């Protein structure tokens, strides 16, 4: 919180403030509905800071995106127990069953975290597969295949729900 001298490299707080909005939206998509996006972002930052300053990364944003995907994948397994307990308790009703989104949210929910990440970066942020691969630590071909299969599956599901 001390004053930043002119010409000094940005502090970690400044780095994080600049990339936070994009990271948060990314985490909201990648994380399951049980998880607050900010919690996911925070957990990723905790892991990043454990090894040193954010400024040590060539791209802190890419590192944090990869970490968010990994955390979301782990949480998906971890929170499975909670979802099962909730379903038992509520007689089948769960928060995720509430259709609060305009279209095929529940279908998105079924996708793995990495797949949602690829879809979001491609369909919303408009990145090419090379960039997506670099950001998420997979090959461009893998990112393309992942997106293609997910879109095919979603189209199929949507068509089955609404034959017209």
Partner 1 sequence: MIQIKDSLVARADRGIIRGASNVFEAANATHPAHDDTIEVHGSNVIDVVASPVRPARRRVVLLAAALLVLGGIGTVLILDRDEAVTHVSSLVPNGPDMWGTFPSPPLSSRSQFLAVATDTGLLVWGGYNDTSGSLSDGAYWDQAAQTWTKLPPAPLDQTRGDAIGVWTGSEVVVLNGVDGVKAAAFDPDSFTWRTLPSPAHVTAAYNASTRLYFVDGTVLFVHIHGDSGTGLGGIDMLDLATSTWRASTGIPSGFAEADVRFTSSADNLYALVTQLPGCGGLQPVFLFNIDADTWTQLATDTPFSNWSPGIFAWAGDRLVMAGGTDCATGASVPYATALDPAGAFSVMSSSPLPLQVATGGRYPDADWNGELLGMTLSDGHAVTYSPSSDFWHVGPTRGARFNETPTTWLNGQLVTVFPGLVNNEDGGSACCRPQDDSFAYTPPLPPIAADMAAPGIATTTASEPTADSEAAAQLAVTAVTAAGWTSELREHATRTTPDGMTIQWTYLTDTSNRRLFITIAPTGQLDSFAGRPALQASRNTAGDLVLVWPDDPGATTIAIDTGNSTIIVRSEAIDTSTGTARPADNLIALAKSIAAADLEHPGG
23 in Cβ contact with 41 (< 8 Å): yes
Give the residue, chosen from 7, 8, 58, 88, that forms a contact with partner 1 under the rule CB under 8 A.
88
According to CB under 8 A, which residues from 25 to 84 bind partner 1? 25-26, 28-29, 33-39, 41-43, 45-47, 49-54, 75, 78-79, 82
Q: Does 115 bind partner 1 (CB under 8 A)?
A: no
- Rule CB under 8 A: is residue 133 a binding residue for partner 1? no
Neighbours of 95 (CB within 10 A): 11
Pick one of 10, 84, 90, 139: the residue that binds partner 1 (CB under 8 A).
90
Chain positions contacting partner 1, by CB under 8 A: 1-3, 11-13, 16-17, 20-21, 24-26, 28-29, 33-39, 41-43, 45-47, 49-54, 75, 78-79, 82, 85-86, 88-91, 93, 95, 100-105, 107-108, 116, 119-120, 123-124, 151, 154-155, 158
């Amino acid at each position: 919180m001390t004053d930043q001298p002119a010409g000094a490299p940005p502090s970690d707080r400044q780095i994080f403030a600049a990339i936070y909005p994009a990271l948060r939206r990314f985490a909201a998509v990648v994380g399951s509905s049980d998880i607050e996006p900010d919690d996911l972002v925070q957990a990723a930052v905790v892991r990043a800071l454990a090894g040193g300053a954010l400024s040590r990364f060539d791209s802190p944003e890419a590192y944090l995106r990869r970490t968010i995907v990994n955390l979301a994948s782990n949480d998906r397994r971890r929170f499975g127990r909670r979802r099962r307990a909730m379903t038992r308790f509520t007689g089948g009703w769960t928060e995720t069953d509430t259709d609060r989104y305009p279209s095929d949210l529940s279908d998105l929910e079924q996708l793995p975290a990495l797949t949602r990440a690829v879809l979001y970066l491609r369909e919303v942020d408009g990145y090419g597969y090379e960039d997506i691969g670099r950001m998420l630590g997979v090959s461009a071909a893998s990112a393309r295949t992942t997106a293609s299969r997910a879109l095919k599956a979603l189209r199929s599901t949507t068509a089955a729900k609404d034959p017209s």
